[in-house]
Amino acid sequence: MGRLFGTDGVRGLANRFPLDGNTAYKIAQLATKQLMLNHKKQGRPVFIAKDTRKSGDLLEHAVAAGVASMGAEARLLGVVPTPAVAYITRELQGLGGVMISASHNPFADNGIKIFGADGYKISDAIEEAIEKELIANNRIEMPTGADVGTINIDDSSITFWLNSLARIAGENVGARKLKIALDCANGAIARWAPKFFSDLGYSVDAIGVAPNGTNINDRVGSTFINAILDVMKKEHFDVGFSFDGDADRVIAVSSDGDIIDGDFILAITAKFLKDREKLPGNALVTTVMANLGLDLAMRNHDIKVFKTRVGDRFVLEEMQKTQAIVGGEQSGHIILAEHATTGDGLLTACNLLRIMRETGASIKELSGVMSKLPQVLVNIRVKSKNFDAVPEIVDIIRDTEKRLSGRGRVLVRPSGTEDLVRVMAEGPDEGEIKGLVESIAKTISCHLC
């Protein structure tokens, strides 16, 4: 069957294996079993949430039934962001948490992300144990009678998460109130972000706030940045924030339309903390996809940059290893370890507003901490992601690396969540690297599509 769990949980086309109701039920059963084995205190609930996809209801009910069938309480949070599940699970002493979401993927997809009692995504070992039992399809011992679990609605715990973020963002006070634009991707943050910032005194204009079950990430959100750029062209905003479907990532935009992606956000945050002697080890963690400009900028500020494979779980592992408190990805998936156990788009936005408020600088001025080298990224949808098994593809990648040696770099990698091969190159000449990427992409298409 292949590996069930990818870099960010189980993901695929909803109502098809492994995101059909029966398999989701079994995954929830086995996950609950593992969570119980790994936690001494029983009687704790499993918090379950979803984003705005139409298939979320189907999977939510299947997961809740699986949890209850193992004797645990399933608490349904409804539509809330992924980071809220992680925070609530940890702060309100849950047995675990489950987020039903495919993040930035199209609405027809869905996914299952599982958190342990500590608010961190479950380990590889637990994922492997779940997958092994699912393949074996052995009979599961389930409780009966009074020991059967329950399913309850929980529409109040979300306030714990929002209140914690409000303390970081701070109230918008002063002679001139900041005006912010939001793109909520018709996703999990749509109900929460506009009111959250309005209650803090910010002037807010928002799009992507009318989810209908099929329009999540549809020409809105952090993977379609033009939507918020169009909003910000119409009138003056101090800053814009564009979230993805489950709001674990965010991209910022300046009043002039400059895109402040994860690389800039990491640089801004690390420098701010180092200037205040609050950056342990003077280090940050990012992935191999980060722009070389980030490395150069951080070197100028005597901040070490640790690199990992793409995926927030790898970033988090390296952060724990190096004791770094700032890490993330170019996509806007930022982990601020002092406040959260996973990427949190709303937390990241709050952090940037705090930095703007305390420094008195605009987001454009703050982004001047680094300059990007031209970067070209192409995604090729493929039938097989094993590009390194094709000699012609290996040869053209090697030739490209030689051409860019000492001037730039090329990176070809399979997506961890979709049937894509990603080709990225950086260098001083955008025209040159565009041509090089197109040549590699054409070769991949010829052999793997």
* Residues involved in catalysis: 103
Q: Compute the CA torsion angle 379, 381, 382, 388 (nearest 10 deg).
A: 10
**Tell me, what amino acid is at 92?**
L
**Half-sphere exposure at residue 354, Cβ-oriented, CA atoms within 13 angstroms:** 16
Mapping DSSP to helix (H, G, I), strand (E, B) and coil, where does residue 166 land?
Answer: helix
Q: How deeply is 256 buried, as exposed, middle or buried, from its count of CB atoms within 10 A (0-12, 13-18, 19+)?
A: exposed
Q: Report CA 429 to chain centroid distance, whole Å.
A: 31
C-alpha dist (Å) from residue 32 to 35, 45, 139: 5, 10, 15
Where helices occur in 122-207 by DSSP H, the ranges are 124-136, 158-169, 193-199
Angle, CA 334 vertex, CA 328 and CA 336 arms, to 5°: 105
Alpha-carbon gap, residue 14 to 332, rounded angstroms: 25
**Tell me, what amino acid is at 424?**
M
